[in-house]
Amino acid sequence: MFKGEVVSIHIAPRAGLPMEARAQVQAIAGRGLEGDRYFDGSGYWSNNSGVDRDITLIEIEAIEALDREKKITITPGAARRNLVTRGVPLNHLVGREFQVGAVRLHGTRLCEPCQYLESLTTQGVLSGLIHRAGLRARIIAGGAIKVGDLIADCASKSGPT
């Protein structure tokens, strides 16, 4: 069991545009985050069917490790994931339900880094984030997600507070 939190939220209205920080975002089941490129199908990978892209998450600890281990500094938004978390073992949430504030998500697969991400950031990001670049998730029950929201495994008896 774990209890983590949302440390930042990011969306981009279209593919390739810089990610914009938000204090809050609306999560819509089966669609994604309002205002984000994948919500309306204009993301770089939108034509790749069969992959849930409702929401993506990355651990701030992975971004910090990239800096510490590879001397590559990127901002949380440059990781191009929607939610940046702290204290959440995202790799362990593949195939599991978890709660972000009032929103319920289902982890579908790891969100591995790609050459496209590296082309938008800097050389070494791809190798530095392999197996720790985050999680793709499906939104099961939507609602507002805010910076500071607690994140908890749905198997946790206490749940988010």
Q: Give the pLDDT confidence of 110-120 residue by residue, as tens digits.
A: 988 777 676 66
Distance CA 8, CA 83 (A): 6
**Under a CB-based contact definition with an 8 Å cutoff, are residues 130 and 46 in contact?**
no
**pLDDT at residue 157 in the model:** 46
How does DSSP assign 45-81, residue by residue?
Answer: TTTSTT---SEEEEEHHHHHHHHHHH-----GGGG--
pTM score, whole prediction: 0.87
Domains in the chain, start-ordered, CATH in brackets?
3-153 (2.40.33.20)
Measured CA distances, 45 to 38, 41, 52, 97 (Å): 8, 9, 11, 24
pLDDT tens digits, one per residue of 15-44: 888 899 999 999 999 889 999 887 776 554
pLDDT tens digits, one per residue of 80-121: 899 999 999 999 999 999 999 999 999 999 988 777 676 667
Q: What is the mean pLDDT of the chain?
A: 86
47: phi then psi, degrees, rounded to nearest 5 = -80, 0
Q: Which H helix or E strand runs over 125? A: helix 125-129
Report helix, strand or coil for 104.
Answer: strand
Q: Which of 93, 131, 135 is nearest to 1 (CA)?
A: 93
**pLDDT at residue 143 in the model:** 98
**pLDDT at residue 48 in the model:** 57
